[in-house]
Structure 1
Amino acid sequence: MTVRVLLADDQPLIRTALQMVVTDTPDLRVVGEAGTGSEAVRLTRETEPDVVVMDIRMPGMDGIEATRLITAGPGTARVVVLTTFDEDDHVYGALRAGASGFLVKDMALDDILAAIRVVAAGDALIAPSVTRRLIAEFAGRPEPAAGRPAEASAAGRGAIEGLTAREREVLTLVGSGLSNPEIAARLVISVATVKTYVTRLLAKLGARDRVQLVIIAYEAGLVGPR
């Protein structure tokens, strides 16, 4: 199966480099390139990609709004944010907008290709170390959800009311950035059992992927800055 990829970045050099790498990969194919957020939204509707690699900082409509429109639209495209993480302070907003993870521009090219495949397969890409940085960076801010912290916290607490004690425990560890093997070791259970709990959490909380579980854990107050 060939993964259809749309590249959205306002820097032609970045787009060209990614286009060359993706084109040289047999199971990936570039179906379009966009230099603005609005163009990315339009091309997503026209070309129906499996994955949109989205820069955050673009002129006019930024990558966060474009991500929100794409993931809320009728298509099935999934978005991976492309960012210089040490400089961008909008990664959390992009994840809330529906991104399935993000790539850092200085990642190895093989890792970027692997990330595209992971997201195309329906999983989320959020490395444990990055999860911890996200929580530390954003959990202490006063505007976690569109400037409405009280409402966001209430919504998060309400979302987890139906969870069992063990499910809350697993959700807390997911939100803390632990991988399935790390959670299994912490709780002294099998990795398969952890996967079952994560699948159950996704269903109960109506979450699309692991990224949304991290956000729910944060908004429910289960995790916070260290």
Structure 2
Amino acid sequence: MNSKNLYFTIFSFILLGFISSCAENSNKCRPSYASNIEQLNEKLYDSYANVAVRENNTTSDNIITPEYFGGSYVKANKLIVMVKNGSPKGIEDIKKRLGTDSNVTFVSCTYSLQELKELNAKLKVSFAKKAALRDEIGWVAVGIKPIQNRIVVYLNNASNKNISKFKNEICNSDKIIFDQLEIEPIEIQKDTAKDEKVGSPS
């Protein structure tokens, strides 16, 4: 191999290495929109938490949020922030907390997140205490659906009969929607010795 070909070969290897390095760095440096939006969401909730809440490692579920705040969720690389009745003061307050960011979209909603959380907590108590009724209507779960700005009650069979019974005997509120979630019963083998211990008075 003459010197000209040798130089060309060395140059080719250097060029390939450079291109490979650039491609790798490009992938590493590519912005993570999902991560940025999650950070925005955390920043918003952190701004609502006082020092005492932060020190107790309280989750966002326990943070008391303002009356205007309806919750938030991520959609199409955007942070969607729900604002009760589209309150201009609420939107302005959120902008002060987050700054102006093109990845934040404001949507008007009917209920504040705090309203939903308070009702959701009461329903969880009913879920635990009213076992017979819960089993009768096939009530399997309850939780907040941010996108719908409602509480969803999941029933094994979301029939009109079961929904009516829930409304009449547990809670009838426009904040609640119903959905069907079929869950197969789990068979648990009984351990007589353990059952006696659990059932014995403390």
**TM-score when normalising by structure 1:** 0.25
- Structure of larger gyration radius: 2
Q: Which has the higher contact order (CA 8 A, sep 6+)?
A: 1
